[in-house]
Amino acid sequence: AQSVTQLDSQVPVFEEAPVELRCNYSSSVSVYLFWYVQYPNQGLQLLLKYLSGSTLVESINGFEAEFNKSQTSFHLRKPSVHISDTAEYFCAVSGGAGGTSYGKLTFGQGTILTVHP
Amino acid sequence: NAGVMQNPRHLVRRRGQEARLRCSPMKGHSHVYWYRQLPEEGLKFMVYLQKENIIDESGMPKERFSAEFPKEGPSILRIQQVVRGDSAAYFCASSPPTSYEQYFGPGTRLTVT
């Protein structure tokens, strides 16, 4: 079975400050990792993903995440946040090829990022 | 290319009624997933379907809930005899064959009164 833990339920920061949203997972098989963002009353948007290759992945709006297999982590970072980054962020894991969890996503509880002016 | 479509966006039902939620995947996507987001909880997987097949329904409640993805038309999540505990946001996601990326619809917010 897979599980995802997002260590912080809420993260308040000031505009232009750096931020890190933490995510740890557990799985007995290789995994694929994702970060999704959800704005109020909207669906989830894929922010970035790790499938294979470079352990550092980046999004087009300045977020990055690093897959750390030894620590089973996939923390999300941004060096300078904007007011518009205020949203809820979900870390998710999917089973790798051949795994029994292929297909479905297992989500963490979510982290609400609030950026203050 | 239109995104994943879900309708209705908001649905109000009285206890004991039936709720039907529809999901049209993105063009070219043959895999559909349903997730439920309860208040104060994260998203929970419910069911994974391909055209005319249920691949994984391990997250579906044993009673009152069913899902289908027919050869033609949208995927349907059906909840019979709704109860207040069914009030939640229901999200549909789709993916193309052999892809791990899922694209989500805007959700249907079900309120049971």
Q: Tell me: the pLDDT tens digits for B33-60? A: 999 998 777 899 999 999 899 999 999 9
Interface check for B45 against chain A (CB to CB < 8 A): the answer is yes
DSSP assignment letter at B86: G
Q: Is the dihedral of CA B75, B22, B44, A90 positive or negative?
A: positive
DSSP A81-92: --GGG-EEEEEE
Percent of chain A whose pLDDT exceeds 70: 93
CB-CB contact of A57 with A48 (8 Å): yes
Among candidates B42, B48, B105 on the partner chain, residue whose Cβ is nearest the Cβ of A103: B48
Distance of CA A2 to the CA centre of its chain: 15
DSSP assignment letter at B35: E
Q: Tell me: the pLDDT tens digits for A40-95? A: 878 899 999 988 888 888 888 899 999 998 899 999 999 999 999 999 999 999 87
DSSP assignment letter at B85: G
Percent of chain A whose pLDDT exceeds 90: 65
Work out the minimum CA distance from A113 to partner chain B, whole angstroms: 15
Q: Position of tokens 């993260």?
A: A11
Q: Is the dihedral of CA A58, A74, A113, B38 positive or negative?
A: positive
pLDDT at B67 over 50: yes
> What's the whole-number mean pLDDT along residues A21-33?
86
